[in-house]
Structure 1
Amino acid sequence: MTAANLIESSLVWDNHGCMPLRPFDEEFLPQLKRYRDAGVNVAILNIGCGEQGIEDHVRVLAAFRRWLKDHPADYVIVETVSDIEQSRADGKLAVAFDIEGANGIADQPSLLGLYYDLGVRWMLMAYNRNNRVGGGCHDEDGGLTDFGREVLDEMAKVGMVACCTHTGYRTAMDVMSYSSRPVIFSHSNARAVHDHPRNITDEQMKACAATGGVVGINGIGIFLGANDNSPEAYVRHLDHAVQLIGPDHVGIGLDYVFDQQELDDYVRTMAHTFPKGMGYEAGVRMVAPEAIEPIVERLVKLGYSDAVLRAVLGENFLRVAREVWR
């Protein structure tokens, strides 16, 4: 079976994508079609990150939801796992949302239920820097806080998946030890392959797998290598994870940013979140959705079976959704 045929016959799930976080600017939203053209069936879109607060998150979420509902022939806002199966059968893109860091709930865990009802399906604990929940990967990580445990309890209650991408080592290990549900790294790469502080250790990958979770391999060039967004660089990280924790615990989380200028602006204006010397400066390369087919081609050459490829392409994240979502 060719890579194109395998993609067409599989559920393909990209667990993290970044549309511009500008609620009154719809210029880039039609580019969601690129996911479908690349064979993607499920796309999880970010609605806020880092220092952005409740109002920022809600404004973006409202704007995304309105636009998607205005295009019902092409998109479905996910409410249940069955929506994913039905939208794929109908040839539509299933869309859900994520929050990067807990600033979107401030000091109010009860907001998690509201976000969930509006389509948010996972939230990561901290975005590079420390917050009320715990430590970030670019900060002095003091571990999961009492408030963080309260947040995890509420997430489990409402059905939201806990994510440890961007999170500090100690906090991530605490989360995976504390959680009674599968925990994910939605878009993280292997530090053993490329030593960047934003990447995760083999120990973290193993701990994630032990919860029943999934590590989504990230497509940002500075996390893959020396700003290397080639399919080969992506496959190196993916294959490392598969060999380490098994094919049932690896997925795709490209972290593709549709507006490169917005990313460059965030790096410039959020210097505390994106510290110098980490490669965040302008010109970060990314693996685009269109690269999924070349990536699959290389995995086929490595001897990956159809069953393993289907697991990595989407079935693993679907399993977590079935286990955690309400």
Structure 2
Amino acid sequence: MSAASLLRSSLVWDNHGCLPLRPLDETFLPQLELYRTSGVDVAMINIGSGGHGIEQHVRMLAQFRRWIATHNENYLLIERVEDIDEARRTGRLAIGFDIEGANAIDDQISLIALYYDLGVRWMLMAYNRNNRVGGGCQDDDQGLTAFGRETLDEMARVGMLACCSHTGYRTARDVLDYSANPVIFSHSNPRAQHDHPRNVPDDLITMCAAKGGVICLSGIGIFLGNNDNSTETYFRHMDHVVQLVGADNVGLGLDYVFDMEDLNSYITKMKGNFPPGLGYELGGGIRCVSPAQIEPLIELQLKAGYTEDEIRNILGKNMLRIAHKVWKQ
């Protein structure tokens, strides 16, 4: 089967995308069409990260939910796993939300259920820096806290996936040890391919897979190395994980940034949180793998001898399996 045919006939799930986080600005939302034209069926969209507080997250949820509801001829908000099949059947993009860092709940665990009810399907534990839950990958990580264990318990209760992208090594190990559910790395790369603090060592990748989790590969050039967003380099990172733990524990989390000027502004504002020499100084010059590169990626997978079932699993079935296991209806 050709790459184009595989793309058309497979469930394609991109587990992390970044739209501008400006609650009164809808100008970029029509660019979600890039997912549909690239063959993506499910897109998880970030609603907040880092130092954003509760108000910012709720405001972005309100904005995104309203826009999706008023454009439901092309988009469908995910409430149940079955909505993914419904979106595919009707030619729409299924959209869910994610949160980058538990600052979104501050000290109020009851907010987790509210976020889930509003469409958030995964939350990562820490965004680069330490918080009440645990440590970030660019901080002095002291491990998962007692509050962090309570947070994981509540996430499991409501059906929200725990994510360890951006999370410190010790906290990630603690989460993988403690969590009753599979844990994901929603948009991360193997450190064995590029030594960057945002990338994940092989032992954590192996632990994640043993837990039944999925490692979704990021397409950010500074994490791939040398600000390289070529399909070949992205595949090299993906293939490392496949060879390490198998195709049943790998997915897509491109982390595609729709507004690079917005990214540059954010990095400039948060420059104290980003150590020098790691590529963040490029700001809006950081390159990203585009959803449009998924078909060329499939071509490389076929050339490397991946089976059709392995490719379909990586494209979306692995994340669908976890959704069936963890999400609550």
Length-normalised TM-score, structure 2: 0.98
* Aligned pairs (5 A) from 1:189-208: 189-208=189-208
Q: How far apart, CA to CA, are the structure 2 residues paired with 1:43 and 1:5?
A: 20
2:173 is aligned with 1:173: yes
Q: How far apart, CA to CA, are the structure 2 residues paired with 1:276 and 1:70?
A: 43
Deviations 1:159-195 (A, max 9, x none): 0000000000000000000001000000000000111
Residue aligning to 1:25: 25
Q: How far apart, CA to CA, are the structure 2 residues paired with 1:231 and 1:273?
A: 29
Q: How far apart, CA to CA, are the structure 1 residues paired with 2:259 and 2:109?
A: 31
SS in 2 for 1:185: strand
**How far did residue 276 of structure 1 move?**
2.1
- Paired amino acid for 1:27: T
Residue aligning to 1:304: 306
SS in 2 for 1:76: strand
Residue aligning to 1:149: 149
Q: Is the 8 A contact 1:12 1:42 kept in 2?
A: yes
2:258 is aligned with 1:258: yes
Residue aligning to 2:287: 285
Q: How far apart, CA to CA, are the structure 2 residues paired with 1:9 and 1:130?
A: 42
**How far did residue 203 of structure 1 move?**
0.3
2:82 is aligned with 1:77: no
Percent sequence identity over aligned pairs: 63
Structure 2: tracts of 5 or more residues without a match: none
**How far did residue 273 of structure 1 move?**
2.7
2:81 is aligned with 1:104: no
Runs (4+) off by over 4 Å:
none
* Aligned pairs (5 A) from 1:98-247: 98-247=98-247
Q: How far apart, CA to CA, are the structure 2 residues paired with 1:182 and 1:143?
A: 19
Residue aligning to 2:296: 294
Quote the RMSD (CA, aligned, Å).
0.6
- Paired amino acid for 1:312: I
Q: Is the 8 A contact 1:214 1:317 kept in 2?
A: yes
Q: How far apart, CA to CA, are the structure 1 residues paired with 2:275 and 2:93?
A: 35
- Paired amino acid for 1:97: F
Residue aligning to 1:322: 324
Q: Is the 8 A contact 1:50 1:273 kept in 2?
A: no
**How far did residue 310 of structure 1 move?**
0.1
Q: How far apart, CA to CA, are the structure 1 residues paired with 2:88 and 2:168?
A: 36
**How far did residue 63 of structure 1 move?**
0.3
Q: How far apart, CA to CA, are the structure 1 residues paired with 2:81 and 2:262?
A: 32
